[in-house]
Amino acid sequence: MEALNNIGVFKKNIIIVLNDNEMSISANVGGFSSYLSKSLTSALATKMRYDFKNAAEEAPFGDTVLKIAKKMENMMIGVLSPGAFFENLGIRYIGPIDGHNIKEIEKALSNAQLQKRPVLVHIATKKGKGYEPAEKSPDVFHGVSAFDKETGIVKGKSDMLSWTDVFGRKILSMAETHNNIAAVTAAMGQGTGLKKFAEKFPDRFFDVGIAEQYAAAFSAGLAVTGMKPYCAIYSTFLQRAYDQIIHDIAIAELPVTLCVDRGGFVGADGSTHHGIYDIAYLKTIPNLNIMLPKDKSELEAMLDLSYELNKPVAIRYARGSVYDNKELPFNKLELGKPEIIADKGKTAVISVGHIFSEVYTAYKKLQNEGIDVTLINLRFVKPLNKEYLLSLLKDKSFVVIIEEGALIGGAGEMIVSLLNNSSIYIPCRTIGIRDEFFEHGSVADLRKDAGLDWESLYNTIKDCIYKA
């Protein structure tokens, strides 16, 4: 909207192509989407517009007829299409055009090139057009792995529960018990695991469209009314709402829970989608409680705790299959207190969040070789029971902190600073995502590249033990 406003003021020769398929990842929502969809049909509106103009050009007294035609055309823009909005901004509107008709597109673009002003070409398309499974399930085919072209079924899809599945099931269960729980998302109802919540509690489900800033502010508004909103947004998109998290949620200490999905590497979506900055940018915000579950049971318990706290909370979890280690007993959460998995060695390994699955595998291999380490699950970045953590670390000879997040500004730097400021000088090694953009690749390959796979962690921890 800001760009459109600026374009209209400067009146430069710019052609804007609006591909309108009535979809984001999920179906579009909101007033503007409805406005864009108000035309009778793209084919009818386009045909009437061009037929009218062609007839006027061929009529006697051409100049007079063309002037009348122009006025009639402008009236038609307002009646048959959403063009009045753009025209009032100073942007010439052409459309809607059938986006699957190449000749109509070429004609519209040629017309746009002749204009000596900004032009918007409104092209109507159908997401997945030409492939029946994609037409029926455009959200599923927004980003897809290898699939059977005959059936449209994705190949190699895991039957294991994902972190998102666990969140979706738990929040649905909580909403059945607490009628003040609401779910908020930004055009990602299915992607964030809220589809069943939306079906069962439509009056408590709010999809605000691709507007993460507004999702955070809207959640704050719900909280003011006494609701307990759970705002589910992918980590990389939550960055857009940073200002609202501070000003609308944290300053007012409102009980909004930010469900930060896709924390860490996300795989094939690449550098724009990896959720690696969230710990760094969230931990600077006062009043915000930050929780990082290591597995399925902790995610469920942290969601319960978030409801009880009545404060701003962020819970960060990963993409892909949830870690569910049956050999480890669940230890009850105490706000701010790390969990001791094992206290057997002079080298302390602190695992931050979901990377615990790799850390624990490395730990088991060390144990099998008779090498003892103290293994700590951090659980909380804020608040952090500093006294308790320092009591665990003060007698250690080496500390290794592991997180699937940015090293700069991450939990590792925070713990090193805590030790130094407490005059506890212990050699430390922080392992995380180095200061560069990581491109496409499987999560396994990206972790290996970053030294966060279990084999790399095993070798690094072993090296630290020998150095100690």
Query: Are residues 242 and 372 both part of a single domain?
Result: no
Both structure tokens of 276: 């690696």
Per the residue annotation, which of 49, 92, 104, 127 is the catalytic one? Answer: 127
| Residue 324 domain flag | no
Verify that 285 and 206 share a domain, yes or no.
yes
212 in catalytic set: yes
Catalytic residue, chosen from 49, 92, 170, 212, is 212
Query: Are both 270 and 370 inside the same structural domain?
Result: no
Task: From 106, 124, 142, give the residue that closes a domain.
Answer: 124
In a domain, residue 131? The reply is no
Lowest mean pLDDT among 250-259, 278-287, 321-330: 321-330
Global model pTM greater than 0.95: no
Q: How are beta strands 228-234 and 181-185 bridged, if at all?
A: parallel
- Are both 308 and 189 inside the same structural domain? yes
Q: What average pLDDT does the segment 70-93 reach?
A: 70
Half-sphere exposure of 29 (CA within 13 A, CB side): 15
Same domain, 213 and 106: no
Catalytic hit among 53, 240, 337, 448: 240
Asked whether residue 137 is domain-assigned, the answer is no
How many whole angstroms separate alpha carbon 164 and alpha carbon 193?
A: 5
Q: What is the pLDDT of residues 149-171, one digit of tens each?
A: 877 777 666 678 999 999 999 99
Query: Does residue 334 register a pLDDT over 90?
Result: yes
Q: Are residues 311 and 375 in the same domain?
A: no
Nearest-CA neighbor of 383 among 337, 336, 332?
336
Query: Which of 72, 98, 124 marks a domain boundary?
Result: 124
Q: Which comes out higher in pLDDT, residue 83 or 92? A: 92
Number of domains comprising the chain: 3
Average pLDDT value for residue range 447-453? 96
Evaluate whether residue 331 is within a structural domain. no
Taking a C-beta distance cutoff of 8 angstroms, is the pair 341, 376 a contact?
Answer: yes
Give the domain CATH number at 203: 3.40.50.970
Last residue of a domain, one of 261, 281, 316: 316
pLDDT value at 68 more than 80: no
Residue 92 known to be catalytic: no
Percentage of the chain modeled with pLDDT above 70? 85
* 84 or 265, greater pLDDT: 265
Is 326 known to be catalytic? Answer: no
Q: Are 198 and 300 in a shared domain? A: yes
Give Cα 178 to chain centroid, integer Å: 26
User: What number of other Cβ atoms are within 10 A of residue 418's Cβ?
Assistant: 15
Q: Report DSSP letters for 143-190, one per residue.
A: S--SB-TTT-PBTT---SPBHHHHHHHHHHHHHHH-TTEEEEESS-TT
**Residues 311, 354 within the same domain:** no
Q: Does residue 423 sit in the same domain as residue 308?
A: no
- Is 101's pLDDT higher than 70? yes
Domain that holds residue 69: 2-124
CATH number at 424 reads 3.40.50.920
Summarize pLDDT for 186-240 with one digit per residue, the tens: 988 999 999 999 999 999 999 998 899 999 999 999 999 999 999 999 999 999 9
pLDDT averaged over every residue in the chain: 88
User: Does the pLDDT of residue 76 top 60, yes or no?
Assistant: no
What pLDDT, on the 0 to 100 scale, is given for residue 270? 87
Q: Is residue 179 part of a domain?
A: yes
| Beta carbons of 250 and 392 less than 8 angstroms apart | no
Instruction: Decide which of 252 and 95 is more confident.
Output: 252
